[in-house]
């Protein structure tokens, strides 16, 4: 499907949803490669709708003439709660929503409303970002890094690359919270997007792409060890308190 045809489809879907739920859809828009004008024949179509809290519309994923089409419907209250309370938890993922809102191509509603939501997410007190980061760590990085070491101990080279990607994705997300910022791409370009953050582990820019492309334990392990070590040092320098226990009686239950 050509870009023009994909845009016509997006507008038709938007008009149909807005028409069915008259007055309930606040903003409808397009994001991803099609919104950027960078889509190719095999690209999918990604849309979002922000609706009033009592709207009955539901998101869905369909295949239209062989092309994956996905649209989500999110309640205004849920979105604003997510933006005001940073987290990395599933649909309540602050970096994801800020990234999407910063690039969305509005097809229904007002761009000024999108700007207001971005302002809401950007004006959150620093203490909430730090609290969210402390709640995610150290498990966010520690578990996936442990998988890299487990792959070596079990002589399992087939899975080590997946563990490397987990470390890089989780580290990127943690750095989004630390820097009160976000990325606007997936996969390797999302990693590159994060290189612009001012607060980064010392070796992050140097080793991020190298580790992404590394293969084999002799190449992966030393770089992962250095990068993760530098990440923990950054957290310490920034005063991020990491939860850890030496006695089970200290664990809150």
Residue ranges per structural domain of the chain: 3-123, 129-237
CATH topology agreement for domains 3-123 and 129-237: no
Which CATH code, of 2.60.40.1930, 3.40.1280.10, 1.20.120.330, 1.10.1200.10, is assigned to 129-237? 1.20.120.330
3-state secondary structure of 82: helix
Q: Which residue has the tokens 């392990």?
A: 221
Q: Which residues of the chain have pLDDT under 50?
A: none
- Give the class (CATH, top level) of 3-123: alpha beta
For residues 48 and 173, give the distance between their C-alpha atoms in angstroms, rounded to a whole number. Answer: 22
3-state secondary structure of 161: helix
Q: Which residue has the tokens 């007190």?
A: 125
Helix (H) or strand (E) holding 71: strand 67-75
* pLDDT tens digits for range 126-151: 999 999 999 999 889 999 999 999 99
* pLDDT tens digits for range 201-236: 999 999 999 999 999 999 999 999 999 999 999 999
Cα of 101 vs its chain's centroid, Å: 12
Residue-level pLDDT at 223: 98
Residue-level pLDDT at 244: 80
Do residues 141 and 231 make contact, with C-beta atoms less than 8 angstroms apart?
A: yes
Cα of 144 vs its chain's centroid, Å: 17
- Whose CA is closest to 2, among 40, 56, 47, 55? 40
Do residues 64 and 44 make contact, with C-beta atoms less than 8 angstroms apart?
A: no
- Whose CA is closest to 224, among 156, 161, 178, 158? 161
Do residues 95 and 182 make contact, with C-beta atoms less than 8 angstroms apart?
A: yes
Residue-level pLDDT at 242: 86
Considering Cα of 143, then 144, then 149, then 151, what sign does the dihedral take?
Answer: positive
């Amino acid at each position: 499907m050509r870009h023009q045809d994909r845009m016509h489809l997006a507008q038709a879907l938007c008009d149909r949803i807005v028409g069915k739920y008259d007055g309930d859809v606040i903003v409808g828009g397009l994001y991803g490669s099609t919104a950027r004008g960078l889509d190719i024949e095999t690209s999918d179509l990604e849309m979002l709708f922000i609706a009033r809290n009592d709207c009955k519309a539901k998101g869905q994923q369909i295949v239209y003439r062989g092309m994956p089409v996905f649209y989500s419907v999110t309640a205004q209250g849920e979105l604003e709660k997510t933006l005001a309370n940073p987290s990395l938890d599933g649909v309540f993922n602050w970096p994801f929503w800020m990234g999407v809102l910063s690039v969305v191509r509005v097809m229904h509603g007002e761009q000024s409303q999108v700007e207001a939501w971005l302002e809401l997410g950007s004006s959150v007190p620093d203490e909430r970002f730090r609290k969210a980061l402390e709640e995610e760590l150290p498990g966010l990085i520690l578990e996936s890094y442990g998988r890299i070491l487990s792959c070596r101990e079990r002589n399992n080279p087939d899975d080590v690359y997946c563990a490397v990607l987990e470390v890089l994705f989780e580290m990127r997300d943690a750095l989004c919270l630390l820097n009160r910022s976000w990325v606007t791409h997936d996969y390797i370009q999302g990693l590159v997007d994060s290189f612009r953050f001012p607060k980064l582990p010392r070796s992050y820019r140097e080793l991020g792409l190298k580790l992404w492309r590394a293969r084999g334990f002799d190449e992966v392990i030393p770089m992962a060890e250095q990068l993760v070590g530098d990440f923990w040092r950054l957290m310490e320098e920034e005063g991020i308190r990491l939860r850890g226990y030496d006695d089970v009686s200290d664990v809150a239950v």
